Amino acid sequence: MPGTQTNDLIDQYLFRQEVARGEKVGWIFRWFMYGLVFVLANLVWHVQDSRAGVYGVALAGAALLYNCLITPLVLKSRTTLWIRYVSVLVDISCLTLYNAADTVVNSALAPVTTSALLLYPVLIFIASLRQDPRLVVFATAVSLLAMNTLWLLARPYMDPQLASALVSADLLGQVYRSAYIVLFGGLVFFIPATITRLLHHQKTMLAQAQTAEALARMDALTGLANRLSLTEDLDKSISMARRSGTRVGLIFIDLDGFKPINDTYGHQSGDLVLTVIASRIKSELRDFDLAARVGGDEFVVLIKGIDSADSAQGVARRILARIREPYRLGHRMVKAGASLGVALYPDHAQDGASLLAAADKAMYHVKHRGKNAVGIAETASFQPSPAQATGAPSDPV
C-alpha cells in the first residue's frame, strides 16, 4: 500500500506539473496574440479610422487585463480549475466578438470563412495542453457554438452575389467548417491521454531504474548493503569527515561457529541464521549508519560521525552480544559467536580501502587469539578478559 500511495503521489505531481506547464504556454500565447492584436487594432483605429479598431483595442485590452490578473497564479503554478475554463472562455469570446465587429464594420465574408476557422482550432489545441480531456470538449463545443453564431450574424451582411458564387459562404460551407472543428477537437481530445501515458511510462522506467540500482547495491539474502554500496558510502563518509574534522568507525565482523550450523542443519537453516543476524546488527545502529554483508558470513558496519574509539567499541560490544543470543531452528536452539575488528578514520587509515583492511586485520587478530571478542586496529597485544573466558563479549587490552 505505501508503494502504491507513493506512485499515486508521483502521478499527481507529474500531472500537476504538465497542467501548470500547459497553462503557462496558453498564458504566453495570450500575451503574444493579444499584444499583437492590440497594436494592429490601434493602427486600424488611428490610421484607417475604423470602428473595428476600437473594438479590437477594447477586447485585446480586456484579455491582457485578465492575463495580468492570473499572472501571479500562473507563475507559481497554482492553476486551478476555474482558471482553465475562464481562460478558454476569454480566448473564444474575444476572438468571436472581434470577428463580429469586423463583420459588421468591414467585410462579412473573411472573418467568418477564414479568420475564425484558422484561430478556433488553435484555441482548442491550447486548451488541450492543460491535460484535461473535459476542457477539450468544452473548448470544442464553445468554438462550434461561437463559429455558428458568428456565421448567422454575418449572413445579412454578406454580398448576395458574392455569397452565391462561393460554396464557403453558404450553409453547406458552414457545415463543412463545423465538421472540421468537431474532427479537430476529436483528434486533440487524445493529446492529454497520450501525454499521461508518456508520463506513466517515464515513471515506470524511472522506478525500474531505481529498483535495478537498489538491487545492485543490496545483498539479496539479508537485505543489507553489499560490498559495492559499502565502498561508495565509505568513501563519501571519509570525505565528509575530512571536511568536518570528525571520525568514521568501521567494524569488521566474521562469525564464529557458523560452519557447523550449515553442516548440521543445512544451508537453508544457515541462511535463516544469517538473516536474523543481519536484523540484529541493524537494530543496534542509527538510521544513518550502514550495515553490509561482504561475504558468506562476513559483515561490515560503517559508523558515521563517531567521536572516539571507545564509542566504536561500544557499538561492537552490543553487536557481539546480540549475535551471541541463541537462534531457534525448529525445535532446537543454536548459538553462534563472532570476531570483530574495529578501525577508525583518521586514527588507523586515511582512505576507505586502508580502513577496511585495518578493520579486517584487527578482526583476524581476535580470531587467531581466542575468537568471540572485539579488537581494535593496531593493538600491540591481546589479552582475553575474565568475561571472555566465560563466553561474554570483551575487549582486547
Residue spans of beta strands (DSSP E) within 263-331: 290-293, 298-306, 327-329
- Cβ atoms of residues 337 and 255 within 8 Å: yes
Give the list of residues 6+ apart from residue 353 with CB closer than 8 angstroms, or none.
none
Q: Which listed residue (91, 297, 347, 360) is catalytic?
A: 297
Q: Please tell me the distance from the alpha carbon of residue 87 to that of residue 309, in angstroms, as a whole number.
A: 67
Amino acid at 168: S
Query: Of 29, 143, 30, 140, whose CA–CA distance to 93 is shortest?
Result: 143
End-to-end C-alpha distance for the chain, whole angstroms: 51
The per-residue DSSP string of 160-181 comes to HHHHHH-GGGSHHHHHHHHHHH
Q: Could you give the C-alpha distances from 303 to 64, 117, 360, in angstroms and in order?
A: 60, 70, 15
Q: Please tell me the distance from the alpha carbon of residue 322 to that of residue 331, in angstroms, as a whole number.
A: 21
> Is 11 noted as a catalytic residue in this protein?
no
- For cell 460554396, name the residue: 167
Q: Please tell me the distance from the alpha carbon of residue 291 to that of residue 300, in angstroms, as a whole number.
A: 6
Output 283-287 pairs: Cβ under 8 A, ≥24 positions apart: 283/322, 284/315, 284/318, 284/319, 284/322, 285/315
Active site residues: 297
